[in-house]
Amino acid sequence: CAHLSADEVFRLINADNQRVSKATVYNTLGLLADKGVVREVIADPTRVFYDPNTTPHHHFFDVATGELTDISADQIHVTGLPPLPAGAKLEGVDVIVRLRPNK
């Protein structure tokens, strides 16, 4: 599945001579994320990816290409989490495995 940034969505929409502002794209993606239709993934500090797969899963992030690839949730097991602060409950754990090509 595609993991697109807001800028990539903006370019795709406007490639067909549409007139959609960046603010509209960012606001719409933010609303979709708030409603649980897409999931925000921050793998790179310079951009947010939007993932249409909202089921529990993790990601490989290729630092060289900027590509995000899904990892099935059952392929990674997280253990040893610290105690949660008082009054908090665990919502989820997101793992991003960053990759770089061998030289």
pLDDT digits (tens, 9 = 90+) for 23-79: 999 999 999 999 999 999 999 888 899 999 999 999 999 999 999 999 999 999 999
Can you give the residue range of the structural domain that contains 13?
4-99
CATH code of the domain in which 25 resides:
1.10.10.10
Cα 10 vs. chain centroid, distance in angstroms?
16
Q: What is the pLDDT of residue 1?
A: 67
Report the C-alpha gap between 8 and 25 in whole angstroms.
Answer: 10
Report the C-alpha gap between 60 and 96 in whole angstroms.
Answer: 6
Report the C-alpha gap between 45 and 20 in whole angstroms.
Answer: 25
Whether residue 64 contacts residue 43, with contact meaning beta carbons closer than 8 Å, is answered with no
- Count of the separate structural domains present in the chain: 1
